[in-house]
A = this chain, B = another copy of it.
Amino acid sequence: MEYQHELSLKVRDYECDLQGIVNNANYQHYLEHARHEFLLSRGISFAELHAKGIDAVVSSITMRFKTPLRSGDEFVIKSRFVHDRFKYIFYQDIFRKSDMKVALKGVVDTVCVVNGELSEVDIL
């Protein structure tokens, strides 16, 4: 299936841990930032949603780590999503730019919570 959005970033040294590779939690940051930029590209701001009482939240996430990113690496996050009644399921893969090797494969389920209740709100 085809990706619907791409975001290019570069590793920042503070994202690397004592093993000299990007700390795992930062991949989650990368994926989140890519989703929010994806939303923005369609005119939707995560911060504005929150201000309106709609919170898009992650209900589950699966990440498979393939190739560790390191200081100086440039990478691209490619994303697409499918929508069912209550969920947006994002498929997000990260590729290292130097050789386009897969760094990470992720699947992220998100739901919308409106005033504390799971909602069918269609935001995308």
Interface residues of A (CB under 8 A from B): 12-14, 16-21, 23-26, 28-29, 32-33, 36, 40, 45-47, 50, 55, 57-65, 68, 70-72
Contacts and interface: CB of A to CB of B under 8 A. Distances in A.
Nearest to A62: B62
Contact of A47 (B29, B32, B45, B72): B72
A60 B71 contact: no
Contacts of A25: 14, 25-26, 28-29, 32
Given A45-B71, A60-B62, A12 B28 contact: no
B63 A61 contact: yes
A14 B33 contact: yes
12 contacts: A13-B17, A14-B17, A14-B23, A14-B32, A19-B55, A25-B26, A25-B29, A45-B71, A47-B70, A47-B71, A58-B65, A61-B63
